[in-house]
């Protein structure tokens, strides 16, 4: 079952007697698409941050990072002037297990502001309209300095001004062995890719015998392309280099040249 983000318990009774509690600022029942940043408001007269809410409902099924759109378009305008901002988490969301990666919103950014979130205790559900982060406006003190690039940032975000490096694995260099899987007297011979660093055993559905059963699974397999809900095999006998053991495989798509790993 999913855990939904909820409003935590407020101040202690003694504190409530000293001052009236402020209204709940953890959720909002209405939202607009492409919200102009000038419509953002602080929660109270003493707040230095502007709350951001999720534009869509999001399910966090793993501990992997997730980008959550807010519907808010830059630049951030304060008193008629474009401002930069720090993007930070909210303490109420952090207490419920939702962590926000801090970020910097530039004064010349005109795209949609998104929030990078993750949880250590999945699954968790972020409801649409849930306030999960805040912007702390900052004056741009670097405006008199000569930039490296003459053009403004515009709608480009998430490292668009720097190069992107993706570390990949050359599958041709990995150790390969003949793998014989068995189920109720039937056998299938595959070419297995070993020592890949994967934390589960996987068979491509293209090489799974059609007359062998598959079972539903709640296990997700995460890779460069995102996460995939896998199916699982029954208990199989697995023979490699003359040694046999019992194992359960996840059955999920693999690169075209890979049969199992």
Question: Mind telling me the catalytic residues?
Answer: 195
Helical H segments across 118-237, by residue range = none
Tally of residues, the chain: 261
Phi/psi for 136 (5° steps) reads -105, 105
**259 token code pair:** 């049969």
Helical H segments across the chain, by residue range = 13-18, 91-95
DSSP secondary structure string for all residues of 61-81: -SSS-EEEEEEEESPEEETTE
Task: List, in order, residues 6 or more apart from 220 with CB less than 8 Å away.
Answer: 61, 62, 227, 228, 229, 230
**79 token code pair:** 């008193």
């Amino acid at each position: 079952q999913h855990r939904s983000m909820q409003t935590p318990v407020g101040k202690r009774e003694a504190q409530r007697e000293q001052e009236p509690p402020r209204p709940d600022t953890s959720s909002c029942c209405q939202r607009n698409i492409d919200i102009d940043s000038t419509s953002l408001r602080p929660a109270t007269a003493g707040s230095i941050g502007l709350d951001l809410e999720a534009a869509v409902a999001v399910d966090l099924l793993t501990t992997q990072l997730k980008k959550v759109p807010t519907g808010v378009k830059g630049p951030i305008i304060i008193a008629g002037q474009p401002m930069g901002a720090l993007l930070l988490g909210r303490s109420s969301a952090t207490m419920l297990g939702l962590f926000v990666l801090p970020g910097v919103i530039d004064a010349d950014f005109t795209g949609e502001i998104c929030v990078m979130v993750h949880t250590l205790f999945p699954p968790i559900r972020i409801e649409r309209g849930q306030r999960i982060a805040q912007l702390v406006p900052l004056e741009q003190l670097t405006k008199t300095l000569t930039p490296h690039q003459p053009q403004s940032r515009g709608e480009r975000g998430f490292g668009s001004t720097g190069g992107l490096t993706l570390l990949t694995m050359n599958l041709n260099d990995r150790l390969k062995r003949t793998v014989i899987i068995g189920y109720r007297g039937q056998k299938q011979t595959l070419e297995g890719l070993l020592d890949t660093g994967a934390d589960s055993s996987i068979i491509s559905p293209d090489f799974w015998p059609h007359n062998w059963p598959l079972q539903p699974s709640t296990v997700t397999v995460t890779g460069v392309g995102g996460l995939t809900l896998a199916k699982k095999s029954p208990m199989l006998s697995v023979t490699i280099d003359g040694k046999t053991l019992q194992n359960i495989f996840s059955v999920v798509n693999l690169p075209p040249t890979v049969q199992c790993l």
